[in-house]
Amino acid sequence: MTTDWLLAHLDDPGVAIADCRFSLMEPDLGRRQYHQSHIPGAVYFDLNADLSGPVQRHGGRHPLPHPDALAQTLAAAGITRGETWVIAYDDSRLGFASRFWWLLRYLGHDRVAVLDGGFAHWQAAGHPVTVATAPSPPRQAGQFVPALRPEMVVDIETVKQRKDQAGVVLVDSREGDRYRGEREPIDPIAGHIPGAVNYPWQGVTDDRGRVLSVEAQRQRWQNLSKTKTNADTDTDTNEIDEVEEIIVYCGSGVTACVNLLSLEMAGRGNQSKLYAGSWSDWCSYLVDEF
């Protein structure tokens, strides 16, 4: 969604705005930024408190939130499933806004988009900001009854069973050095799931956080349908005539959603699924082996 469109609809009661700014290394930063300045009418959604569930021994660092809990939060923000247009933004090249986008679709709400360029682009365009912590004008509570789409998500057992099957591609969305195991700043073990190919999530946008064109998104994924690369030998060994399923993961199921947004733009959304636990879930079982 463009900043000009959102500016023209700031006072539209059928539009809600979600501020999703966050920092994995400094979890309170996004909330502080929201209180310092945000788009008028925006409601803050915290990755840890709102867009994730309680962390367990397994399941990853950012498990999916309970659908009913998130639905209550969305309704309190004035969002009605199937009716309200919701625009999500961050300042991290869609890294957290895309998680919000994916979650709403998982809960059965398709009228959701991410703000192209995020908060930085909004500010650069000279559009208004505010420090008001409550939406202005005040929003009425919405009605949000989840209609889950379980086909959009997979767990570790499904990944194990399907990742090496013909027609299935496993995509690692992290930076190349984390994928290769050269660096791991968060999780206890470095590396990647055997057989995964690497498509870093930052490739969906330019260095200013602007989303690349639909054609660029299509080109980004076009080779995925030709061969499945054996990631551990750097050779193309498994010929694939047609990709039937694309399982996407990252560190904890957050930035993988940027790649899922890209796949949706490329017309491959129906093939794509999120491994919600991602590498943090996968390697938690490896830790148990030691």
User: What is the per-residue DSSP string for 271-290?
Assistant: GEEEESSHHHHHHHHHHHH-
Look-up of token digits 């086909």: 151
Paired with 68 in beta bridges are none
Quote the CA–CA distance of 98 and 95 in Å, as a whole number: 6
Label residue 126 exposed, middle or buried (CB < 10 Å: 0-12, 13-18, 19+). exposed
Contacts for 282 with CB less than 8 Å, ≥ 6 apart: 156, 159, 193, 249
Dihedral over alpha carbons 160, 161, 165, 167 (to 10 degrees): -90
Told to judge if 250 belongs to the known catalytic residues of this protein, a careful annotator would answer: yes
Quote the CA–CA distance of 200 and 262 in Å, as a whole number: 11
Paired with 135 in beta bridges are none
**How many CB atoms neighbour CB 216 within 10 A?**
15
- Catalytic choice (20, 250, 257, 283): 250
Active site residues: 250
